[in-house]
Amino acid sequence: MLPKSFITPFLKPAPDPTFTPAIGDVLVLDTGGGNYSTITTRAWHIFSTTNHSTLLTGYQSERSREYPVANGITKAIISGRDDPILLIIDYATIVDDDSEMESLHVPFQSMRHGVKFDMTPPIYGGTGSMSINDDVIPLNCDGEKLFLSISKPTKDYLNLYDCYKLSSALHTPAIHPRRRSKKTMHEDVPMIEWHRRLAMVPEDIVSKTLQHTTQCYLNVDCENRSNMREHYQSRFPGLRLPRQKEDVATDTYFPSVKTSRGHTCSQMFVGLTSDRWYT
């Protein structure tokens, strides 16, 4: 057993003086909170609503639920200032839960409208603040998050204190007509390119081939979709590779002329039963 002089008592480290504990309702600023902010009815005065809603999954339940989207205002306490300020967030999801004490603001939503953020706390070399026009508003830090202490303002407060907008109302983007794909005709392709595509055959054979074929798949980009779709079967039957239900022999060769795609290596396949060959 060690003597008492060798026993060092465990001392809890003193809290950092730059850390402020989060007490009561707070507005947390976090970059990982989604696309839009989240506000609570207990800390925000809702002054207008929208006809939009947000589908939240996993909030206090495994089920999905729709929450309304509205515009709100709150009162925030700023360290170093005698008077509080008012903060407005447009287009935020309302969480109607009396037990929820955290509202969430996504800095990206404000950065689109000129608000600047320094999300590094002072203890790590940053300022931990946001700049709206020429005013710098310091943020509190409890060692885990940056936040502001907020409370629900009354109507009397709305004309007393400085007011800052953290975001602007959502604009409905202009509706653009769907672009039609440009049809490519064989007249748009020069003859020298047809020579390369048709194995360098003479010009008269190229002309007769174009006269007696449909050229339905000169341009496979038939649809201008912004989101790709998964297709289990080719949408262009004429471009499907023919299947030989027989054994094949193959050989590799290197022609002296490049293909239309710039390839210099070719592979030949010959059916052992039908004697049909493909390159």
Lowest average pLDDT, out of 84-93, 141-150, 236-245, 264-273, goes to 236-245
In the chain, what is the straight-line distance between the N-terminal and C-terminal CA atoms, in Å? Answer: 87
Residue 169: per-residue pLDDT? 65
pLDDT exceeds 80 at position 214: no
Question: Tell me: the pLDDT tens digits for 113-137?
Answer: 888 888 888 888 888 899 988 889 9
Q: Is the Cβ–Cβ distance between 54 and 93 less than 8 Å?
A: yes
| Per-residue confidence band for 157, with pLDDT thresholds at 50, 70 and 90 | confident
pLDDT at 201 over 60: yes
What is the pLDDT at residue 278? Answer: 75
Amino acid at 5: S
C-alpha span between 197 and 206 (Å, rounded):
10
* 70 pLDDT above the threshold of 70: yes
Q: Is the pLDDT score of 77 beyond 50?
A: yes
DSSP-derived 3-state class of residue 63: coil
DSSP string spanning 91-125? Answer: EEEEE--TT--EEEE-HHHHHTTT-EEE-S-GGGT
* Residue from 138, 59, 126, 50 nearest 89 by CA: 50
Give residue 75's pLDDT: 92
pTM: 0.54
Name the token pair of 135. Answer: 């005013």
**Interatomic CA distance for residues 264 and 250, integer angstroms:** 17
